[in-house]
Amino acid sequence: MLKLAWRNIWRNKGRSIITIAAVMFCVIFAVVLRSFQVGVWENMIHEIVGNNFGYLQIHEDGFWADQSLDRTMDLGAVNSEELLAVDGVDRLIPRMESFSLLYHGSNTKGSLVMGIDPAVELPGLQLDDILLEGRSFSRDDSVIVVSEGLAKYFNVGLGDTLLFMGQGYHGATAYGAFPIGGIARMTNPELNKQLVLMPFQKAQYMYNCTDRATTLVVAIEEDADYEAVGSALKGSSAEGLEILEWKELFPEIIQTIEVDMAGGRIFVTILYFIISFVLLGTVIMMVAERQREFGILVSIGMKKTKLAFVTLLENIMLIMGGAIVGMAVVKPVQFYFKYNPIDLSGQMKEAIEQYNFEPKLYTTTSFIINLNHGTIIFFIGVLVSLYAVVKIMKLNPIESMRS
Amino acid sequence: MSKAVIEVSGLHKVYEGAVPVKAVNGIDLTITEGEFTALKGPSGCGKTTLLNLLGGLDQPSSGSILIDGTDITALSDNELIDFRLHNIGFVFQAYNLIPVLSATENVSFIMLLQDRPKEERLARAEQLLKAVGLEGKEDKRPGQLSGGQQQRVAVARALASKPKFVLADEPTANLDSESTAKLLDIMEQLNAQENMTFVFATHDDRVIAKAKRVVSISDGKVIDDTAE
């Protein structure tokens, strides 16, 4: 039966090639589309979360909801040793994050101020890698690094001084004046417009938060699963602290991803509908051209179920072939655009930046996408092939032989 | 006395429509083992319909058809397919071979459906192809054979399942004189050697001349039944 099915595939090469090509291109289009969509998000999460904010953060209980400096944590009361002993935790990165009104000349702007220790920071805040000009700072420095967009806004350069005015711990006034030691380009467009980086101790001092921090970013070991690390941390004696995963920290990212993915799913569904009709066309063509033969086979004693099985087997082989070829052919494309993302320009770039996304289109190389779409299209193909099964099961041998 | 293979009584087949057509109109017929019978008559007389009814391809409007004692009108669709597989061999006007299979595979295919072992299938296919004079053509596909050769493969296929009888609908209609003569000789030989029962629907005089019994049909009725 397998031999018969195999040979039947090649009796009408044109039809078989159309079927294989239709499935193949559908898999390729669907996978490319979803790879870009998922790739862009993967990259954004990696950039924003992995390189800047961390997949896990520790705060004083209730801080994230309130975002008040009154809920900063006392670093002396945190059992760092126990937290560091959790499997997958590489290091704890203290940060002092708040907002300040910045002044320069007659210009003002509300900005995000981040007190950091560059020596232990995440890759996105490794100042030497992101500086456009100037220098990084050490713990004892008094200079700040401003983001490129902020420097442009104030029209300031190295050596210029920015004034800070805000609210500190327990209602204290937080103010300071810091010279600009460096200008950096942040990969995240929103941060690039408003971020000021300063030495951690200087930020503590300015906000009247000596020995305190708003955040302990948990740097996880490479290949460690942040969800597992998060669960382990929550199970440790981190009393009075909240341990939040990035999805809890930035639910708006998840919502945006879900909305975007839903749009992509609609597009892919339309693609599936198109391929369904293309495949149905080839199946109808096959049934029509072999109607007579089906009649003969049933006449000489071939059970309709067996004939339907052989016909289904033919289609399964064709569709599976197309799906496998499609899944394989698209792989190099995924790899290419993963490492050579498409740079967006013009209005498209501006539109993307408005949403604080990096204006580059990356792909993901996750094979799960290929497997998912290959499998979905395969099942669509099998479903469409049931048309032939239904026609065979209803077949009248005499009428078929007359056709 | 030879055993009756086919017993038909009171057989009617009416095609319903605006004007009902009585394709078979009260036929009683008995065909015994080893007969070489031709059903003759002009086009539209009902001989192909009768053949289809005998082969269980169509259901009569009334009457009974006993094949080796089994009333095939009472069988379900699936039972009929199975019955055809084990009891009836078909030879069609247009050969109707499976184009993607070789001559040997076409002949052995029906035995594959009967779940016979591979060695038996190949041996019988080889023997039958030899019997119909197609030695050396075993690996040829239908497209590589002439019309006469294809029809001989069809005859070998019809016999492959060791049926109780062979129904042949206008088997020579598409053949030239030489191929027709060769095919008829082969069928006559198989009839004589294996006591195989053949029933032809034909209006080819060359076939009628070889038949040992000729049943003439007109307007769905038997009007003459002459045996040698």
Q: Could you give the 3-state DSSP secondary structure of residue B190?
A: helix
Mind listing the pLDDT tens digit for each residue in A337-390? 989 989 888 887 877 766 656 788 889 888 899 999 999 999 999 999 999 999
Question: What is the Cα–Cα distance from A284 to B11, expressed in whole angstroms?
Answer: 37
Model pTM score: 0.72
Mind listing the pLDDT tens digit for each residue in A86-102? 999 999 999 999 999 99
Structural domain contains residue B88: yes
Whole-Å CA distances, A395 to A284, A294, B61, B130: 14, 8, 20, 35
In eight-state DSSP terms, residue A219 is E
Range of the domain at B193: 4-99+165-227
Do A300 and B100 make contact, defined as CB atoms within 8 angstroms?
no
Do B110 and A300 make contact, defined as CB atoms within 8 angstroms?
yes
Nearest to B85 among A8, A293, A301 (CB): A301
At residue A68, what is the residue type?
S
Give the count of domains, chain B. Answer: 1
Mind listing the pLDDT tens digit for each residue in B21-70? 899 999 999 999 999 999 999 888 888 899 999 999 999 999 999 998 88
Average pLDDT over residues B149-155: 89
B/e letters for A311-342, b = 16+ CB within 10 Å, e = fewer, are bbbbbebbbbbbbbbbbeebeeebeebbeebe
In eight-state DSSP terms, residue A164 is E
In angstroms, the separation between the Cα of residue B1 and the nearest Cα of chain A is 30
Question: What is the Cα–Cα distance from B39 to B218, expressed in whole angstroms?
Answer: 10
Report the candidate in A82, A94, A88 with the shortest Cα–Cα distance to residue A58: A94
Do B85 and A302 make contact, defined as CB atoms within 8 angstroms?
yes
Mind listing the pLDDT tens digit for each residue in B167-204? 998 888 877 888 888 888 888 888 888 788 999 898 88
* Cβ(A110)–Cβ(A150) below 8 Å: no
Strand order in the sheet with B165-169: B88-91, B165-169, B197-202, B36-40, B213-218, B221-227
Mind listing the pLDDT tens digit for each residue in A290-341? 888 899 889 988 999 999 998 999 889 999 999 999 999 999 999 999 899 8
Domain ranges in chain A are 2-48+253-402, 62-239
- CATH number, domain of B92, equals 3.40.50.300
How far, rounded to the nearest angstrom, does the alpha carbon of residue A30 sit from its chain's CA centroid? 17
Do B100 and A4 make contact, defined as CB atoms within 8 angstroms?
yes
- For A291, name the nearest residue in chain B, comparing CA atoms only: B96
